[in-house]
Structure 1
Amino acid sequence: MSRPTLKISPLQWLYCLTALFFTVKVWLLPNPSLDYPGVDIVQSIVLDSGVPNAVTGIIFRNRLYDTIFEVLVFTIAIMGVSYLMANEKPLGQVEQFSDQPSIVLARLGATITALVSIELAIRGHLSPGGGFAAGVAGGTAIGLVAITASTTWMEQLYQRWQIGTWEKVSVLVFIVLAGLTFGGWELAQGEFGALVSGGMIPILNALVAFKVALGSWAAILIFIRYRGLL
């Protein structure tokens, strides 16, 4: 019995040569290094943005164009969840946590993470944190409440306060303020290190936190409605 011969197509040879090329490049070529004698990059970013948190200064000033599209990508992702589940049949009954210790721990955790979210949103330009981290913390708080509370009550609350509308409004306001920043219109930076400082940065920070938390609320409700507790 003859053994089957292994045939490699020209396209596969191209893939192999490309992989070999990049492997040699990584191992042999030196890593590029920036050399700015006498210039402290972090210090220059801090002075330019007017906030001690240089990361926040980069996100909402130096790379604000990228941040706009990151917010839009998150918005599209939430819309995609709704589209993905559009043809699904909702579950007849969603089982929640019913034992008292789990309920107490989940709601205690929700309270703590909600407070952390507010802290990160308000002081994200002064200390480690920021809008995205604050939004994730807020979404976590909502998720912890959702696994112990009635899904119907959560949806009624979502509809009563028109959370979906507020989420979209926050995105539009963020884009408008970011556009004004691009156009050179900025608020006064204020006293360095003070809570009200950094010009437009704290407002953009809070808007991102607001949008991510509310978007997470929508996604959590949809997944629980159609998939139960994950």
Structure 2
Amino acid sequence: MIWVYMAAGIALYIKMLAFPSPAMDATELSIVESIVQESGVPNTVSGIIFRNRLYDTIFEVVVFTLAIMGVRFLLADETPSCAIYQFTDTPSIVLARLGATIAALIGIELAIRGHLSPGGGFAAGVAGGTAIGLIAITSSTKWMEAIYQRWRAATWEKVSVLIFIVVAALTLVGIELPQGDLGALVSGGWIPVLNILVAIKVALGAWAAVLMFIRYRGLL
């Protein structure tokens, strides 16, 4: 079988050299331009995610919520880990917290301006979750859980999902905010709002998953 795999790899390499990808034609460009005009945002990816395939995006958010609930359900009957593995040397702690600060700032930028430049709610949520994970591996687990409970992060996570579904439903039935000027920060109708809601949901969901894995597995 290894010769079959090697032959397939060589054939694919020859295909890429002999038959280059065709150049984008005017029809494809007109599709991109029409998406920008309909959505009112320069980032066509955000326009597609939150308009053209909004149904898919709704269920992606729901699936992510179910995944976090599944983590809680599967680990609920297990005994918490006695050993928690974290960074203990000062250089690693400083670098991790510096990285967390940078990741948090990038997450905020992606959430607020994701409809104008590469980025968006999911990328912002991942950046926020990364920041939380870096803080978690350099701080006390009890302190992290106390903050999670104090700010009612679990409640805000569920509220963000419900608000996202309501706003998405308004978009689907044709009730939209004014698009504003193309390229302005306040533009694109509901798209910036949906970006921020997705960022909050993903970041808080990642926070919940991080705490669960640290509590029951001892590490991320």
- TM-score past 0.5 threshold: yes
**Change in CA separation of 1:37 and 1:102 when aligned onto 2, cut-off 3 Å:** closer
What SS does the aligned partner of 2:61 have? helix
Instruction: Tell me the amino acid that sits aligned with residue 59 of structure 1.
Output: I
Structure showing the higher helix proportion among its residues? 2
Which one of the candidate residues 90, 98, 101 is aligned to 2:80?
A: 90
Q: What residue is the counterpart of 2:215 in the other structure?
A: 225
> Which string of whole-angstrom CA distances, capped at 9 and with x for unpartnered residues, describes residues 89-134 of structure 1?
0012413211000000000000000000000000000000000000
- Give the superposition deviation at 1:63: 0.4
Moved more, 87-96 or 70-79: 87-96
Aligned equivalents of 2:47 and 2:160: distance in 1? 20
Q: What residue is the counterpart of 2:163 in the other structure?
A: 173
1:206 has 2:196 as partner? yes
Contact 2:42 2:115 (C-alpha < 8 Å) held by counterparts: yes
Q: Which of structure 1's runs of 4+ aligned residues deviate more than 3 A? A: 34-39
- Give the superposition deviation at 1:71: 0.1
- Give the superposition deviation at 1:36: 7.8
> Which string of whole-angstrom CA distances, capped at 9 and with x for unpartnered residues, describes residues 56-93 of structure 1?
00000000010000000000000000011011100124
Instruction: Tell me the amino acid that sits aligned with residue 172 of structure 1.
Output: L
Aligned equivalents of 2:139 and 2:25: distance in 1? 56
What SS does the aligned partner of 2:197 have? helix
Instruction: Tell me the amino acid that sits aligned with residue 213 of structure 1.
Output: A
What SS does the aligned partner of 1:190 have? coil
Instruction: Tell me the amino acid that sits aligned with residue 45 of structure 2.
Output: V
1:122 has 2:122 as partner? no
Aligned equivalents of 1:153 and 1:215: distance in 2? 18
Which one of the candidate residues 89, 112, 126 is aligned to 1:136?
A: 126
Structure 2: give runs of 5+ residues left out of the alignment: 1-23
**Change in CA separation of 1:37 and 1:223 when aligned onto 2, cut-off 3 Å:** closer
What SS does the aligned partner of 1:207 have? helix
Instruction: Tell me the amino acid that sits aligned with residue 216 of structure 2.
Output: Y
What SS does the aligned partner of 1:177 have? helix
Q: What residue is the counterpart of 2:145 in the other structure?
A: 155
- The two structures, once aligned, show a CA RMSD in angstroms of 1.8
Which one of the candidate residues 136, 147, 163 is aligned to 1:146?
A: 136
Structure 1: give runs of 5+ residues left out of the alignment: 1-33
Aligned equivalents of 2:102 and 2:41: distance in 1? 26
Aligned equivalents of 1:141 and 1:103: distance in 2? 13
Q: TM-score, structure 1 length as denominator?
A: 0.83
Q: What residue is the counterpart of 1:4 in the other structure?
A: none
Which one of the candidate residues 9, 19, 41 is aligned to 2:31?
A: 41
Contact 2:122 2:198 (C-alpha < 8 Å) held by counterparts: yes
Question: Larger Cα Rg: Structure 1 or Structure 2?
Answer: 1
Q: Percent identity?
A: 74
Q: TM-score, structure 2 length as denominator?
A: 0.87
Which one of the candidate residues 155, 176, 188 is aligned to 1:186?
A: 176
**How many residue pairs were aligned?**
199
